[in-house]
Amino acid sequence: MAAPEQSPVGRRSRRTVWLAVGAATLVVAAGVVVGIVTNRDPWRQGHPWARGHPCAEAATGDALPFRDLEHSANGANWVRPELTVARSHTELTTLWTRLHAGQQPVPPPPSIAWSHALAIGVTVGTRPTGGYRVEIERIVPSARGVEVCVVEYTPARGSAVSQALTLPYQLVEAPRFNGSAHLSIRKEAGTPD
């Protein structure tokens, strides 16, 4: 027994559905390719911390207070992101000298009340142009010590930036804590408000 012949209308609607599915697939694929080519993760760019992450779960009252000691785009030659905790004047002097490598004379380090405070330095490593900035968003107590939640601001697409290597970092003073510090970085396009 032969199958009944379909009307031209039925064939057209099925073809329309397949064309719509194909077009939607191309749009999604193009978005992913654009994200990869522009070095942006289209699924995480500008999004808040992932659910379940200590930086996302902490209420504002849970975060440790901290004081900004120095921000700069011209730190030492760190190749990759790094977190350094200075618990003494000697450790701070070592970190400070490294942050100001190449400067003559090296400015004196900030003073810190070592009995109840310490210094935390964060860098994201060498970046290819200007327009990058590091900002510690919060420092959250955790079972293993603290989680240092950092936002790396990247140049906005099409913005005019210097064509020189930069080494953004931030140095802060925070209350003393027991345990270790762990670095969590998320990227966000543009500069902070």
Q: For 120-179, what is each residue's pLDDT tens digit?
A: 999 988 888 888 889 999 999 988 899 999 999 989 888 888 888 888 999 999 999 999
Please give the Cα distance from 66 to 117 (Å, whole number): 9
Q: Which two tokens stand for residue 31?
A: 């978005």
What's the pLDDT at 42? 34
Residues near 88 by beta carbon (within 8 Å), at least 6 away in sequence: 114
Is residue 2 in a domain? no
Same domain, 104 and 169: yes
Same domain, 12 and 98: no
Give the tens place of pLDDT for each residue, 159-172: 888 888 888 999 99
Same domain, 142 and 180: yes
Same domain, 68 and 34: no
Same domain, 114 and 154: yes
Integer angstrom CA distances of residue 99 from 30, 84, 148, 176: 41, 11, 19, 22
* 27 pLDDT more than 60: no
DSSP string across the chain: -PPPPPPHHHHHHHHHHHHHHHHHHHHHHHHHHHHHHTT--TTTTT--PPTT-HHHH--GGGSBP-EEEEEESB----SS-EEEEE-SHHHHHHHHHHHTTT-SSPPPPPP--TTTEEEEEEE---BSSS--EEEEEEEEEETTEEEEEEEEEEPPTT----SS-BB-EEEEEEE--SSEEEEEEEEEES---
Is residue 145 in a domain? yes
Total domain count, the chain: 2
Q: Is the pTM of this model over 0.75?
A: no
Same domain, 11 and 77: no
What's the pLDDT at 44? 39
* 60 pLDDT more than 60: no
Largest pairwise CA distance in the chain: 95
Same domain, 34 and 63: no
Same domain, 93 and 147: yes
Same domain, 33 and 114: no
Q: Which of 139, 157, 141, 10 is nearest to 66 (CA)?
A: 139
What is the residue range of 13's domain? Answer: 7-39
